[in-house]
Amino acid sequence: MGANIRMENIDKRYKLANVIRDVNIEIQDGEFLTILGPSGAGKTTLLKMIAGFEDPSKGKILINGNDISRTPIHKRNIGMLFQNYALFPHMTVYKNVEYPLSVRKMSKKERKEKIDAVLKRVRLSEYASRYPRELSGGQQQRVALARALVFDPLILLLDEPMAALDKQLRKQMQLEIKEIHRELGITTVSVTHDQEEALTMASKVCIMKDGMIEQVATPVEIYEKPASVFCAKFIGEANVIPCPVVSVDAAGKGKISVHGLVIPAPDQTRSYAADDTVNIVIRPEKINLVDDSYGGLKFSGTVEQCVYIGDCLKLKVRLTNGHHLKVKVFTSYALSLDVGDEVLLGISEEDIVQVKP
Ligand code: ADP
Ligand code: MG
């Protein structure tokens, strides 16, 4: 059980700057939303407003349809795990986890049941009487997670809680949090700058830039159909190609030139003018090595860089017009490829995505 969160026309101004600008987003009950964006984009500020540590300068936040502007932090029923998840050093694991329950009216027996259950969930039942200093970093973090979950919150907020952990521990923790989310169905909003983490964990990804939302979509949509050049470059690798419109018919339908090859503009829902330029995105793995019989778009070029990364080769290919394409091919198809080789690259028109500037 979770809660539906809605942010309507949210602005946040500090003295000098407008750090959140007209944010509108709805997070469905049980969803796992991950907010991605560069440092300073406003991710933490957004979470703080949901939690109640900051008030919006404008707009409304609704939880299950109720405006929570006047609801104090401890009544919002939100669990939080932030990067500096400081545990109380002089308290045992058990006491740390009990802390949020002590501000709520609850019998000792009821508390113990809840604490035992949550410690079991984070696999720390054996550690209840230890002090934080007697635990590893990963274990300390699991205590912090238990503390965030022990009072059965409707919403869990995570602000880069994994940033300080090493890669292996981070991966393990990601899967653990994902599992907990699946079991509890708690509405979860997490912040990260790690794109792989976002794609692993989230049911929806939100990309932020300069205090505004660039795109909210499923991980697959975000990757396959990025809304803008920024989104395409922020997640995964991308060839972003500005393409001139070379002809427009009477209905306003345009054709564009992709490095000299003319195709209909991928977005046929809008009309074009003769001097328009359209940005397209092609993911490197959508480009294949082909022969003359290939029916899609074909570009010939020379391999200028060839990097072996195990399962794949990452190529930088210089086309005959002097431009470059990033290409990723499975090693098993192209193991003998090397710098200086002439290649023919094939791209299917369906794999070309038109994006906003
Ligand atoms: P992110 O978490 O995406 O890195 P933040 O939400 O922490 O970004 O910050 C967004 C912007 O707001 C930054 O430019 C930051 O300097 C500014 N900011 C954050 N908190 C305050 C504050 N208390 N007073 C003034 N500016 C702030
Ligand atoms: Mg932050």
Confidence at residue 228, expressed as pLDDT on a 0 to 100 scale: 96
Q: Which domains does the chain have, with CATH numbers?
A: 5-228 (3.40.50.300), 237-355 (2.40.50.100)
User: Cβ atoms within 10 A of the Cβ of 252, count?
Assistant: 11
Atom of ligand 1 nearest to the CA of 54: 23
Of the residues 19, 82, 207, which should be mutated to test ligand 1's pocket, given the most ligand atoms within 8 Å of the CB?
19
* Ligand 1 first shell, C-beta below 6 A: 14, 19, 37, 39-45
Ligand 1 atom index nearest CA of 45:
6
Report yes or no: 226 and 353 within 8 Å, Cβ to Cβ: yes
Q: In a mutational test of the pocket of ligand 1, which residue from 10, 13, 14 has the highest number of ligand atoms less than 8 Å from its CB?
A: 14
pLDDT at position 73 is: 86
Residues near 77 by beta carbon (within 8 Å), at least 6 away in sequence: 3, 151, 153, 154, 155
Atom of ligand 1 at shortest range from CA of 15:
25
Give the pLDDT confidence score for residue 1 in this predicted structure: 64
Region for 162 from its dihedrals, namely left if φ exceeds 0, alpha if ψ lies in -120 to 50, beta otherwise: alpha
Q: What is the per-residue pLDDT for 104?
A: 79
pLDDT in tens, the chain (357 residues): 679 999 999 999 998 889 999 999 999 999 999 999 999 999 999 999 999 999 999 999 999 999 998 888 888 899 999 877 789 999 999 999 999 998 878 899 999 999 999 999 999 999 999 999 999 988 998 999 999 999 999 999 999 888 878 888 888 888 889 999 999 999 999 998 888 888 888 999 999 999 999 999 999 999 999 999 999 999 999 999 999 999 999 999 999 999 999 999 999 999 999 989 999 999 999 999 999 999 999 999 999 999 999 999 999 999 998 999 999 999 887 778 999 999 999 999 999 999 999
DSSP run (H or E) holding 307: strand 297-308
Size of the chain, expressed as the number of residues it contains:
357
**What pLDDT was estimated at residue 171?**
87
Residue 129's pLDDT is 97
